[in-house]
Structure 1
């Protein structure tokens, strides 16, 4: 029986690892039920944490400068919605009112839409989709938050006879709000990284509201054009909040670079207990650790290395890879290596250019903005299309 050892990357919380691990088990069970999946959760014991509860962090405001490149406008929109679920409705509330002679005392088309939302109950089809997406438990709360918001009521006041733009925007707001609540509760359902599933939920919900054209309205489209050019968004946060949010990523890497032997030893022990042949499926920093381990030691059990969103090729190029100086080739005993990357994942790199004839690179597209793209591989069918045929 082939054993697949899943080695996680930086900043992964135990609950998130468990959900990723369960998803990988589920994907493999469909096409390769003969494979045993084994966890390698090194971060729980060896990952970084603020040992003095942030005593080293000065308590003052800091500014982060975030820049946007030219990207698909719908992806840009979702990047804004992830930060502020009411963003699109806020844009629509700024839309100029259309001139006309409608009776202000007569019922408006938007009144009917609001009435539908006030008494909305998901259909069995939509409810099943919400369960699959992992947001069924927070859906009603998200719905109520949106329809009670000022942005929602102001946007409806600008609605014309065609409500499709508003149905789509409201559906996106509700789904984005539900995703926000999940993250707030430290839950990581599949919809957070599966763009196709997210869009399917939005489409089904929008159709249930009455009208849907499945796209961005002209007003929102033009507004997003302002974001489609390089720009700098200054976001102020408390220094402690910033550190809590971003520290797991660089800090785990710093820890590994200084005390990586314990992490490699942990992975080695998992491999020694596994039934051969062993496949290492390593994400992000996990890929760096596995490359270092396999360069330093000839582990005959390991038949294949799968790295996903890994920085190992980049570290080698800048001569920062622990096990191998730049210019030195991979040793003969190094196993076959498949490397999966995403152009939207800025923490993923290609290996074939720096390790000729040793690495096979496969490009996938999660349709997610960074940093969600860095965790979106497991929901992407292209990832498994690349992996499954290579498994022993």
Structure 2
């Protein structure tokens, strides 16, 4: 009787493994009821806190932290780093106030000042120090040409001009940082918050003498972000967050430094199984199986199936434990089927790395990352590839 052993990936818990194992067993038995599906839950050997989270700061989670403008500012910059026009998009959604049709429009005043802006000597020196002097004009022009900026001009009134000047200053600074990263340049402003804020302050003052700060209309939605996803939320919930994110990187780090126990556990499950054996391995489980099969000649294993695996990537960067880059897979290494998904950024192809030794099969989960990394087991293409190759 052929045995399929399911070797899981990183950070999986008992209940999650049980649910996944049940799906795999059902999918295989639907077409091959003669095959035995066996578990290989090595998670007990994975990463764990040995001192009850003694290394985690703020373990009691009771530190009183401000929920004020400072936190809102941090959250706002987090948005601006991803989208320099974020704040202007918000301003473009403001209700348009009625105004004197014969007077000069506030938006025209704003546009004139931004378009004709000439950096003062102090601002120019600050831009040089920040490392964005050469791309400042490009950043400003990019903002001016954008639809969010043009939309914001339509909603501005005389009473809130200062709110717009500060927002535009932040947009230009964020756009300059965005351009720098696209050009693979890393000026000091990218990591120096004080320098960044000084650029914004001087840029705002060059536009107007109004006091720098978040306007009332903008402050409310940004404070909402701060309360639900800001830095203080993370700091106050550090233990909970650590528990959520540590299993995956923790297991990877543990395996890379002390993975022999995990490989030994997998080998023991193979020894107990009735041959021929198929190893069905997900993510880090695939790396462990590749390492094991390189190091040990296990004649009972006829097929290795890796799903969402990083083994080819680790080999290419010379980080695969068992095989130095440039070395070939040993002759005793079994047939290798590798299933990947272009939407799963933790999956890699092996045929170009190990020519004629790996067969890559592409599937499409139609799921965004990271959900795509765990979506293989309900994908019909996954099972078409696997079932047809089972002994």
Cα distance change, pair 50–352 in 1 and its aligned pair in 2 (3 A): same
Question: TM-score under structure 2 normalisation?
Answer: 0.56
Cα distance change, pair 336–16 in 1 and its aligned pair in 2 (3 A): same
What are the Cα deviations for residues 7-64 of structure 1, in whole angstroms up to 9, with x where unaligned?
A: 0000000000000001011001111111100000010x20111222221122389989
**For residues 383 and 39 of structure 2, what CA distance do their matches in structure 1 show?**
18
Cα distance change, pair 66–277 in 1 and its aligned pair in 2 (3 A): farther
What are the Cα deviations for residues 209-229 of structure 1, in whole angstroms up to 9, with x where unaligned?
A: xxxxxxxxxxxxxxxxxxxxx
| Residue 369 of structure 1, CA deviation | 1.5
Aligned residues between the structures: 233
Corresponding residue number in structure 2 for 1:13: 13
Corresponding residue number in structure 2 for 1:384: 383
Corresponding residue number in structure 2 for 1:27: 27
Cα distance change, pair 301–243 in 1 and its aligned pair in 2 (3 A): same
**For residues 304 and 379 of structure 1, what CA distance do their matches in structure 2 show?**
21
**For residues 48 and 315 of structure 2, what CA distance do their matches in structure 1 show?**
27
Cα distance change, pair 313–68 in 1 and its aligned pair in 2 (3 A): farther
| Residue 350 of structure 1, CA deviation | 0.8
| Residue 262 of structure 1, CA deviation | 0.5
1:351 matches 2:354: no
| Residue 300 of structure 1, CA deviation | 0.2
More strand by share: 1
Cα distance change, pair 257–26 in 1 and its aligned pair in 2 (3 A): same
More helix by share: 2
**Counterparts of 1:114-133 in structure 2 under 5 Å?**
none
| Residue 242 of structure 1, CA deviation | 2.8
Cα distance change, pair 21–66 in 1 and its aligned pair in 2 (3 A): farther
Question: TM-score under structure 1 normalisation?
Answer: 0.56
Cα distance change, pair 66–335 in 1 and its aligned pair in 2 (3 A): farther
| Residue 68 of structure 1, CA deviation | 12
**Counterparts of 1:147-158 in structure 2 under 5 Å?**
none
**Counterparts of 1:1-392 in structure 2 under 5 Å?**
1-43=1-43, 45-59=44-58, 235-236=230-231, 237-238=234-235, 239-392=238-391
**For residues 95 and 24 of structure 1, what CA distance do their matches in structure 2 show?**
52
Cα distance change, pair 31–353 in 1 and its aligned pair in 2 (3 A): same
| Residue 259 of structure 1, CA deviation | 1.1
**For residues 282 and 34 of structure 2, what CA distance do their matches in structure 1 show?**
22
- Secondary structure of 1:252's counterpart equals helix
- Secondary structure of 2:336's counterpart equals strand
**For residues 47 and 340 of structure 2, what CA distance do their matches in structure 1 show?**
25
Computing the radius of gyration from Cα coordinates, the structure with the larger value is 2
**For residues 354 and 365 of structure 2, what CA distance do their matches in structure 1 show?**
25
Structure 2 unaligned regions, length at least 5: 66-70, 83-92, 96-228
Runs of 4 or more, structure 1, over 4 Å off, are 60-69
Cα distance change, pair 68–25 in 1 and its aligned pair in 2 (3 A): farther
Corresponding residue number in structure 1 for 2:220: none
Cα distance change, pair 66–321 in 1 and its aligned pair in 2 (3 A): farther
**For residues 350 and 67 of structure 1, what CA distance do their matches in structure 2 show?**
35
What are the Cα deviations for residues 231-278 of structure 1, in whole angstroms up to 9, with x where unaligned?
A: xxx753233333222111111011111111100110001000111110
**For residues 296 and 241 of structure 1, what CA distance do their matches in structure 2 show?**
38
